[in-house]
Structure 1
Amino acid sequence: MEPMHVKKGEGDQLHIPDFLEMTVLVSSQATDGTLCIMEDVVPPGIGPPRHIHHKQDEVFFVLEGSFKFEVAGQTLSASAGDIAVAPRGVVHAFKNVGESKGVLRYIFSPAGDAEAMFRAICESAKVVGLSHEMLAKAAEPFDQEIVGPPL
């Protein structure tokens, strides 16, 4: 892995209208698979379905807004400056419970295929639209499992 500097506003954009506005800040390729870092602008009332990353830990840094997290059956309330951790193999989800957009930064460790999964979800959404079934099907090849509805 080489030293790097990512400036504000840089990164590769991934987008699904009214659901996902993500920027890949540090790719898994840039870190030799050690980790990847992404930032997500989350509209009010939005969050993913309950899911499991079988081979990665996920760390959430709340940069803006108010969020509800569910991690391994525990409900957590988080706001700017807070961190939530979802160890690999546990069910987790989040939801923006504020009245305006929220911003989360994620670290996946090891990077695994998280980045590739989000890219596959974006491509599938363009073709078939966003649905629970589409998310489950797109996530499965990347050792991610959709196990329940959103919060």
Structure 2
Amino acid sequence: MTTSQAHVVHAGAAEVVGLPGGGAFTLLTDASATGGALGANRLTLGPGRDGARPHHHALSTELFYVLDGALEFLLGEEAVTVATGGLVVVPPGLVHAFGAAPGTGAELLSVLTPGVERFGYFRQLARIQHGSASFGSLLPEQERYDVHFADAAAWTSPRSSR
């Protein structure tokens, strides 16, 4: 893509990667298709399902727009619930995590800018959630995907106590 070209992804053209519990990643666009400007995906989560464990991005800002349902976010040390129509922008370096609120599913649009080639990351996450790969398989890939994992205790404790 150049500055004089638009990038269009038609409905039904994006790859859909299924997740347990009725969830899915819809891989809309990766950095290579946008000249590195951004990457975008849509995520559907079943009721109370985790979307991402605590992590930060060293290079990119991440935007989340809640299309439906409600999401719980960990933003640094703060827990915030954001419902349909809400927006969250996470700057580089801020540890964050998110998941569907208890008793509700959620759909969100996620945009990472500048873009990083991350479709492989989402495919691997699906394999991990389906039990065909271990979480440890992502650890050597943290730099490649600009996803740097953090201590999960601040996230798992409140969610698992319900």
TM class by shorter chain equals 0.7 to 0.9
Residue type of the partner of 1:83?
A: L
TM-score by length of 2: 0.78
Cα gap change, 1:56 to 1:102, in 2 (>3 Å): same
Cα gap change, 1:134 to 1:16, in 2 (>3 Å): farther
State the Cα deviation string for residues 24-63 of structure 1 (Å, max 9, x = none).
Answer: 1122221011101100001112222111111111100000
**Structure 1 residue 7: Cα displacement:** 3.3
Matches within 5 A, 1:37-56: 37-47=40-50, 48-56=52-60
Cα gap change, 1:24 to 1:36, in 2 (>3 Å): same
Matched residues, percent identical?
Answer: 23
Q: Structure 1 stretch 121-130 or stretch 104-113: which is displaced more?
A: 121-130
Choose from 78, 82, 97 the match for 1:78.
82
Choose from 5, 10, 27 the match for 2:13.
10
Cα gap change, 1:140 to 1:111, in 2 (>3 Å): same
**Structure 1 residue 120: Cα displacement:** 3.6
**Count of residues paired in the alignment:** 150
Cα gap change, 1:98 to 1:110, in 2 (>3 Å): same
Decide which structure has greater strand share.
1
Residue type of the partner of 2:10?
A: K
For residues 102 and 126 of structure 2, the distance between their equivalents in structure 1, rounded to whole angstroms, comes to 25
TM-score by length of 1: 0.83
For residues 35 and 13 of structure 2, the distance between their equivalents in structure 1, rounded to whole angstroms, comes to 20
**Structure 1 residue 77: Cα displacement:** 1.5
Cα gap change, 1:24 to 1:59, in 2 (>3 Å): same
For residues 128 and 93 of structure 2, the distance between their equivalents in structure 1, rounded to whole angstroms, comes to 25
Residue type of the partner of 2:8?
A: H
Question: Which residues of structure 1 form unaligned runs of 5+?
Answer: none
The structure having more radius of gyration, on CA atoms, is: 2
Q: Structure 1 stretch 1-10 or stretch 68-77: which is displaced more?
A: 1-10
2:103 is matched with: 99
**Structure 1 residue 98: Cα displacement:** 4.2
Q: Secondary structure at the match of 1:65?
A: strand
1:67 is matched with: 71
Cα gap change, 1:7 to 1:142, in 2 (>3 Å): closer
For residues 59 and 117 of structure 2, the distance between their equivalents in structure 1, rounded to whole angstroms, comes to 9
For residues 144 and 72 of structure 2, the distance between their equivalents in structure 1, rounded to whole angstroms, comes to 28
CA RMSD of aligned residues (A): 2.5
**Structure 1 residue 137: Cα displacement:** 4.5
